[in-house]
Amino acid sequence: MNIVQDDDKAVVVAPTQKESAWIIWLHGLGADGRDFLPVVEQLSAYRHHCRFIFPNAPSRPISVNGGMVMPGWYDILALDISAKQDEAGLNESRARVFEYINSAKAQGIAPERIILAGFSQGGAVALYTGLSATERLGGIVALSTYLPLRYQFDDYVNAATQQTPIFMGHGSMDEVIPLSTAESSRNFLQQQHYALDWHVYSMAHSVCAEEIQHLDRWLQQRIA
């Protein structure tokens, strides 16, 4: 694996062939940018032309964990994620992802060849960022997650993202973010007429081989 950066800011994996696409992948709460490195080599995009960017979230107190400081893209204020959400933290993380998007475009990567991906909390940021982008991106990958700030959706969504494809995968036994929460986000996005590729797997709050295979095929359709 060609790791060209591994520091407090991010882990970056360069492709084996000429670069023509970026995948910006956000880890979950308490993890770091190395968390999904084992997945990279299982994806065709890595074996060919795609640069993977795995940013590291800053450390911050997490309210539901008694204020324990850990890597997080935003604070979790309550176990009921439909309750008040950390809008300031979400906006801070969204701004950082936009910096990566702008960097990709500055290096000649077209927006439709930029994929935002994330797991759990990282997936929420990927959805929030991708749907508020000023242009259609190549796609959004939202694993074991939900749509944040749903009741403010009209305030942040950009009409340019209406055709942005979305891959959502969730575990039927997820004990952290219940399947019903993800289904509610799915239903809402479908009502907003987003092109949603939805999958449920027999797993807990994690990823599985079948999900990676489905994701690989989906990515090939977007950035082959």
Residues tagged active-site: 120, 174, 205
Name the strands in the sheet holding 139-143, side by side, starting at the edge strand that comes first in the sequence: 3-6, 10-13, 50-55, 21-26, 114-119, 139-143, 166-171, 196-201
Rg over CA atoms, the chain? 16
Torsion, Cα 20 26 31 36, to 10 degrees, reads -40
Name the nearest CA neighbour of 149 among 81, 48, 213, 67.
81
- Alpha carbons 117 and 139: distance in angstroms, whole number: 8
- Residue 213 main-chain phi, psi, to 5 deg: -65, -45
The encoded tokens of residue 91 equal 């906006």
- Alpha carbons 183 and 181: distance in angstroms, whole number: 5
The encoded tokens of residue 22 equal 């970026």
Query: Which residues contact residue 187 at a Cβ distance below 8 angstroms, ignoring those fewer than 6 apart?
Result: none
